[in-house]
Amino acid sequence: MARPMEFDRDEALASAIKVFSSHGYEGSSTATLLEQMGIARQSLYGAFGDKRRLFLEALKRHNAESLAEIVAPLDADLPCLEAMEASLLAFARPGADPQKGCLGVGSVAEFGRADPDINAINDASGQALRAALARRLRAGVAAGEVAADIDPDQAAAFLLTVRSGLKIAARGNADREDLRAMVAMALRGLRPA
């Protein structure tokens, strides 16, 4: 009979996300993962399978949490461009650690398009985020808060690129004021004349 888990799986997974976000897949040794997760090697294999499956589960959870954090301001009762700013800067809100790295962006940088499982996870969250941004931009155009000649789908794709750049800039030590200035520059082109 299998022994019950003697650790909190969610806490262990959260710790794994931090390790992978900071060091990437290849840079995260199994020993470091075990130490930070507070589990034994057998528990890793019993609960998650192996390092690769742990990474995939960590990426899936990170992306789901990140998506929820980014979409929340888009659904808030805010003017469109304020909602966009809050969404783009959600990772840098007060109390957050924007320099910690982003597992999603890091996985793209580390793997490119070489791993179909990672692609599927990142593509799904990217498509969901792009759709949410485009939906909010369409509403902004309809309300006269966004320039009428803006293509919401193209603008959403642009803002996704901006968001990735912001995360890299934060990892490179850009502070919140720098990030806010970058977002203001990006959003300037969406304003009605």
Cα(117)–Cα(8) distance, integer angstroms = 26
Residue 73 sits in a domain of what CATH number?
1.10.357.10
Is 21 inside a domain boundary? no
Is 27 inside a domain boundary? no
- Classify burial at 21, counting beta carbons within 10 Å of its beta carbon; exposed 0-12, middle 13-18, buried 19 or more: buried
Is 86 inside a domain boundary? yes
Is 43 inside a domain boundary? no
Domains of the chain: total: 1
Is 11 inside a domain boundary? no
- pLDDT per residue of the chain (193 residues) written in tens, 0 to 9: 445 457 899 999 999 999 999 999 999 999 999 999 999 999 999 999 999 999 999 999 999 999 999 999 999 999 999 999 999 999 888 777 777 889 999 999 999 999 999 999 999 999 999 999 999 999 999 999 999 999 999 999 999 999 999 999 999 999 999 999 999 999 999 999 8
Is 168 inside a domain boundary? yes
Domain hosting 156: range is 56-188
Is 143 inside a domain boundary? yes
pLDDT tens-digit readout, 10-45: 999 999 999 999 999 999 999 999 999 999 999 999
Would you tell me how many other CB atoms lie within 10 Å of the CB of residue 26?
Answer: 8
Q: What's residue 50's pLDDT?
A: 95
Is 8 inside a domain boundary? no
Q: What's residue 95's pLDDT?
A: 72
Nearest one of 66, 69, 83 to 136, comparing CA atoms = 83
Q: How far is CA 57 from CA 66, 86, 94, 107, 153, in A?
A: 14, 27, 27, 13, 29
Cα(6)–Cα(110) distance, integer angstroms = 33
